[in-house]
A and B are shown apart, each in its own frame.
Chain A
Amino acid sequence: KEKHKILHRLLQDSTSPVDL
């Protein structure tokens, strides 16, 4: 995950996830 830190950070940014 350290190697892919930008993707990791962007995914952790708060958004409004949609549940199934």
Chain B
Amino acid sequence: CCQVSKKTGNQIVSHLLLVEPDKIFAMADPTTSDTDDKVLTTLCDLADRELVVLISWAKHIPGFSTLSLGDQMGLLQSAWMEVLILGVVFRSLPYDEGLVYADDLIMEREQCRTVGLLDLYCTLLQLIAKYRKLQLDKEEFVTLKAMALANSDSMNIENIEAIQNLQDILHEALQEYEKNRHLEDPHRGGKLLMTLPLLRQTANKAVQCFRRIMAEGRVTMHKLFLEMLEAKV
């Protein structure tokens, strides 16, 4: 951890790098043919498994586990899609027009159109373009993910002060990292924070898309994914 800290110049950022989860693969069922519904089923199954990892990751954010169980639930229920979207966005940065849901599930415009996710695809490309222009690095990515969770604006928070404390700690970590690693642009931290409205907008759109798919009953969704989609109403 100390070696990583020397590199990032901030202990929280180094810790977030260390607790970053391993890659998850989509692992589409090889025994069935590739229909639109199969692609959506694979995507929903991937999201369900990512959610399990995300909940476990959240517990490793410094201070998160000291919040009340109700507040932990409130933050996760509000911000889970923003955290998942940030992951897709970061993985997609090296690709021109593909969304890297997983290394084995890269979706391009035409496929997104045929499964009914073109609108979401376009919004995601806009968000990816913003981060590509900034050349978002991994340290900033892990810090922004934690900030998205802490800044979820949940309506069901019991201890607002504790959440504010968590936000302040993450904000300071980002500022310190930028001061140490991106001296060339004193506005970089602000620029990163200014991407958060589009992230929320994109996450809301994604939730709407998957709620529509859920209502259509076209694909089987696992219980945790359903539970989190329903919590976002």
Chain A interfacial positions (CB closer than 8 Å to B): 1, 3-8, 10-13, 15-20
Contacts and interface: CB of A to CB of B under 8 A. Distances in A.
Interface string B191-233: 0000000000000000000000000000000011001101100
A5 B228 CA distance: 11
26 contacts: A1-B70, A1-B73, A3-B230, A3-B231, A4-B73, A4-B77, A6-B223, A7-B55, A7-B76, A7-B227, A10-B56, A10-B224, A11-B69, A11-B72, A11-B76, A12-B69, A16-B60, A17-B60, A17-B64, A17-B66, A18-B15, A18-B60, A18-B62, A18-B64, A20-B165, A20-B169
B65 to A, nearest CB: 3
Q: How large is the interface on B (under 10, 10 to 19, 20 to 34, 35 or more residues)?
A: 20 to 34
Given A11-B69, A17-B64, A18-B64, 5 more contacts: A3-B227, A4-B73, A13-B56, A18-B15, A20-B169
A17 to B, nearest CB: 3
Contact of A15 (B59, B77, B227): B59
Q: DSSP majority for the B interface?
A: helix
Contacts of B55: 7, 10-11
B77 A7 contact: yes
B63 interface: yes
